[in-house]
Chains A and B, each alone.
Chain A
Amino acid sequence: MQSWLPVPESASTLSGDVDALYFYIWGVTIFFTLLISVVVIFFVIRYRRRNPFEIPRPIEGSHKLETLWSVIPLLIAITFFVWGAKLYFAQYKPAQNAIEVYVVGKQWMWKFQHATGQREINELHVPVGRKVKLIMTTEDVIHDVFVPAFRIKADVVAGKYTTEWFEATKPGTYNFFCAEYCGMNHSGMRGYVVVMEPTEYENWLSGNAGQTSPAAAGRNLFESLGCISCHGANAEGGRGPALLGVYGSKVVLNNNSSVTADEGYIRESILNPQAKLVTGFGPIMPSFQGQISEEQLLDVVAYIKSLSTTKPEQATAKPAPSATPSTGAKPSATPK
Chain B
Amino acid sequence: MSEHIVQPRVYLMIFLALMAGTGLTVVAAFYDFPGPLNAVVALTIAVIKATLVVLYFMHVRYSGRLIWLVIGSAIFWLAIMFALTISDYWTRTWFVPM
Contacts and interface: CB of A to CB of B under 8 A. Distances in A.
Interface residues of B, number: 5
B31 to A, nearest CB: 20
A52 B59 CA distance: 57
Q: Which interface residue of B95, B96, B97, B98 has the most chain A CB atoms within 10 A?
A: B97
Interface in B69-98: 93, 95-98
A272 B51 CA distance: 40
A92 B95 contact: yes
Interface residues of A, number: 12
A140 interface: no
Contacts of A94: 95-98
B67 to A, nearest CB: 33
A262 interface: yes
Interface string A87-102: 0000010100000000
- If over half of A's interface residues share one DSSP class (helix, strand or loop), that class is named, otherwise mixed; here it is mixed
Contacts of A312: 98
Contacts of B95: 92, 94
A163 B98 CA distance: 10
Interface in A235-267: 248, 259-260, 262-264
Contacts of A163: 97
A313 B93 CA distance: 18
A313 B96 CA distance: 12
Contacts of B96: 94, 260, 262
A259 B96 CA distance: 10
Interface string A59-94: 000000000000000000000000000000000101
A328 B96 CA distance: 27
A313 B97 CA distance: 10
Nearest to B93: A259
A157 B18 CA distance: 46
Nearest to A94: B97
Contacts of A262: 96-98
Nearest to A161: B97
A94 B96 CA distance: 8
Contacts of A264: 97
Contacts of A92: 95
Contacts of B98: 94, 248, 260, 262, 312-313
A248 B98 CA distance: 7
Nearest to A93: B95
A223 B4 CA distance: 77
Interface in A255-297: 259-260, 262-264
Contacts of B93: 259
Interface in A178-219: none
10 contacts: A92-B95, A94-B95, A94-B96, A94-B97, A161-B97, A163-B97, A262-B96, A262-B97, A262-B98, A313-B98
Interface of A: 92, 94, 161, 163, 248, 259-260, 262-264, 312-313
Q: Which 6 A-B pairs have the closest CB atoms?
A: A94-B97, A260-B96, A163-B97, A312-B98, A262-B98, A262-B96
Given A94-B95, A260-B98, 16 more contacts: A92-B95, A94-B96, A94-B97, A94-B98, A161-B97, A163-B97, A248-B98, A259-B93, A260-B96, A262-B96, A262-B97, A262-B98, A263-B97, A264-B97, A312-B98, A313-B98
